[in-house]
A and B are shown apart, each in its own frame.
Chain A
Amino acid sequence: MFTNFWYSLGRSRGQILGWGLALAILGGYMVGFYDTLAAQQETLEQLLASYPPELMAFFGDMTEMFTPQGYLNVEFFSYMPLILGIYAVLAGSGLLAGDEESGSLDLVLAHPLSRTALFLGRLAAFATTTFLILLVSWAGFAVVVPGTNMDLTPMELLAPFLSLFVFLMLIGMVALFLSMALPSRRFAAMTGGMLLVAGFFLTSLARIDENLETAAKYSPFNYYQGGEAIGGLEWSWIGGLLGFAALFALLAWWRFERRDIRVGGEGGWGVPLPSFLKRRPARS
């Protein structure tokens, strides 16, 4: 399992550096502007008042923009679940199905490695990669924050990153489960991406439309705190997101343990379908 874990983690070097450094630079750059923005609070408040509420809904409570946590939320954490959510969907859906469809999983699983050990190794590598991306991003913030008027310590900044990490784990595990249940990785990524965007819009629009509030309760975005986590983590939300992530991981493992390993894009539906919809290619 550890060989497989280190191998998978090694393959994620590019993602860790690419995503991590890009977000660290963005974060550092954005934090550096806080003092300038705070100095123009009055002018900006007038400007914000003229924005349509539909637009404001997507960035959280913009009236809080001049507090450190409100600023970080609007400028970074409000849209990170969507941006890094795409990473999580792609990484989660490709965690096993990527190698399976390329054909290389066939050879790996012909070695003395159980499916469970492979699954856990890959899962641990995904969690570690996500953690390291966020750690590098956090470092970008932590380096710049002490030089600003933000009344925040680097340690306090960890809270929104923890909230983001837990959210991404759930998205990744949903994508992983979809890749085990649907016929192809591409289909799983597409479905996961659509669910992600739908959840984002639903939760955002529920801020201005009360009728959507009930439906938004089923969206994981509803339980993502973002910058607000600086004021205190909602541990029940963290636990809930982690619980559902574990549930989807369990379902994905259950499917992986019982299904055939595909080669070269071969595959069938993992969900019950009427027989007339089932069609699988022949192979030798």
Chain B
Amino acid sequence: METTNAIYAQGLLKSYGRVQALRGVDLEVRQGEIFGFLGPNGAGKTTTIRCLLDLIRPNGGTLRVLGIDPQANPVVIRRRVGYLPGELRFDEGMTVESALRYLNKLRGGQADWSHVLSLAERLDLNLKMAIRNLSKGNKQKMGVLQALMHRPELLLLDEPTFGLDPLVQQEVLRMVAEAREAGATIFFSSHILSEVQEIADRVGIIRLGKVVEVAETATLINRSLRRVRVHFKQRVASQALAQIPGVSLLTQDDGLSVTLQVEGEMDALIKQIAAYPVVDMETERPSLEEIFLAYYEQERVKVNSNH
């Protein structure tokens, strides 16, 4: 089973002293997919990724990357993997080009330099710049470039668009999609739901060191909460709106404006609202944190009902 997956983790445990960072992570990332790994700060995203490269050693569980145990053969895995760390640091005394050439030499010259130049051009990254003079965004571009330059089979990207402006974010997401088209598997962590929604085939949610949900991205989004604010021309019976399955009333101001929380599809609510004259309507996607909290709440309810 595990050999058909690019990443296979079962019961992965990792503690830092008394702090349990991973509490039994179970994860299967299929070959050739883009897998978004979501979670709030401190959930265990970076710890999981660093275990995959044998930068840190789990205290328990089974882990396979491209069918290989990272602790048994880390060098073979690293040759086939491109990695963008969450906390990206380079030797500040080098230029972008000298640092990339050095990293490429560590790979035994795996990268085709014309490909490096092409990626740099697309990212609008000046290779002659000294790293110490680069902005945070440009350092992130450099990180993305070094992860992609040798056309790896598996990309491990920790917050790949962090610090980038929206245009470059789009370019990076295009590059990731192209890498997948070329056959690579992409495993990336993110806080940003919209980018996950844009490119990920499947999503895993990690919370408090445990994967609480793995789902197709569309399923997750459809299942997720939305906040809907409607401004009516006349007073409406807002309680009637709250009767719709999946809809709950958050606030109502003098019966003209209501704020509702909708879980799942919007169809029933839209049809009900259409019966009244509407001045304005806004929908707001929840932050990931709200989705996590919703999942967390569901889990808690499940546990309580089982007892």
Contact = CB atoms under 8 A, between A and B. Distances in A.
Nearest to B158: A284
A280 B103 contact: no
Contacts of B75: 112-114
Interface string B102-115: 11011110000000
Given A3-B102, A103-B88, A111-B78, A282 B16 contact: yes
B103 A111 contact: yes
B238 interface: no
* SS class, residues of chain A in contact with chain B: loop
Interface stretch (B39-47, B162-170, B268-276, B297-305): B39-47
B85 interface: yes
Interface stretch (A44-52, A156-164, A257-265): A257-265
B90 interface: yes
B282 interface: no
Interface in A82-135: 102-104, 106-114
Interface residues of A, number: 30
A147 interface: no
B203 to A, nearest CB: 17
Contacts of B76: 112
A107 B17 contact: no
B235 to A, nearest CB: 48
Contacts of B105: 3
A104 B89 CA distance: 5
A11 interface: yes
Question: Most chain-B CB neighbours within 10 Å: which of A106, A261, A264?
Answer: A106
B48 to A, nearest CB: 9
Interface of A: 3-4, 7, 11, 102-104, 106-114, 258, 260-261, 263-264, 266, 268, 278-284
12 contacts: A103-B89, A104-B91, A106-B50, A107-B83, A107-B103, A109-B53, A110-B83, A112-B106, A260-B56, A261-B56, A264-B87, A284-B45
Given A106-B50, A263-B85, A284-B47, 8 more contacts: A3-B106, A11-B93, A110-B78, A111-B78, A111-B103, A280-B19, A284-B41, A284-B86
